[in-house]
Amino acid sequence: MPATDSRIDAYISKAETFAQPILIHIRKLVHKAFPDITETMKWSFPHFEHKGVVCSMASFKQHCAFGFWKASIMKDPNKILQTKERGAMGHFDRITSIKDLPPDKIMIAYIKEAVALNEAGVKLPARPKADPKTLQIPAYIKDALKKNKKAANTFDAFPYSHKKEYVEWITEAKTEPTRHKRIATMLEWLEQGKNRNWKYK
C-alpha cells in the first residue's frame, strides 16, 4: 500500500464532484510512477515530494490544476507543458475532466523524470537579479553634496529608499528659499548619519 496523507483524502472529499475523479486519478498515477513518493500539504493544496517537491495538484470551483515543480527544466519531448503565458495554475491549463490530461503512459514518464531531477540534485536556475534602481538626482543636490564630503559619504552609503526620500523632499519644495533650506537641513542631517525620516523612528 502506498503511503498516503489523510489530509489529501480530506482535500479530495471536499472538492467539487467533477474534480474528485481527476484528483484521484492524478494521485494514482504519481504513486504508480514512483511508489516511494511522499504526500504532503503545502499552501493548502496537495504536493508530492521526494528529495524536494516533485509535483502538485489543486482543485477549484470549475477546474483542477496539476504541475511540476521543475517544469521549466524538464525535457518535455511531447510538448505538453505550459511553462509560458499560462492562463491557469499548473502546466496543463484548466483540467475539467480526466480526458484533459495526457495519456497515462506519458504522465508517468514525466513524473519519473521529475523524480529523477530531484534524485540527481538538479536545482532550478536562480532567478535573474532585478536591475538596480537608478535615481535621478538633480544637479543642485549633487553640487551641494560635492561641497560636503561627510554628508556625501553618508548619502552614497544609504540604500535607494533613503536617497529617494531626500531627493523627493527637496524637489517637492514649492519655492527657491524652501528648497535651499531643505538642502541645508539635508546636509546637516547627513553629517549626523540621519535619514530623512529619522524623527519618526
Average per-residue pLDDT in the chain? 89
Question: Which of 100, 174, 83 is CA-nearest to residue 182?
Answer: 174
40 pLDDT above the threshold of 90 = yes
**Sheet with strand 38-42: strands edge to edge:** 38-42, 45-49, 53-59, 64-68
pLDDT at 124: 81
pLDDT digits (tens, 9 = 90+) for 136-168: 899 999 999 999 999 999 999 998 889 999 999
- Do residues 8 and 30 lie in contact, with contact meaning Cβ atoms separated by under 8 Å? no
pLDDT at 86: 47
Is the dihedral angle over the CA atoms 63, 99, 20, 69 positive or is it negative?
negative
- Domains of the chain (ranges; CATH) run 6-119 (3.90.1150.200), 139-200 (no CATH)
Length of the chain: 201
pLDDT at 27: 97
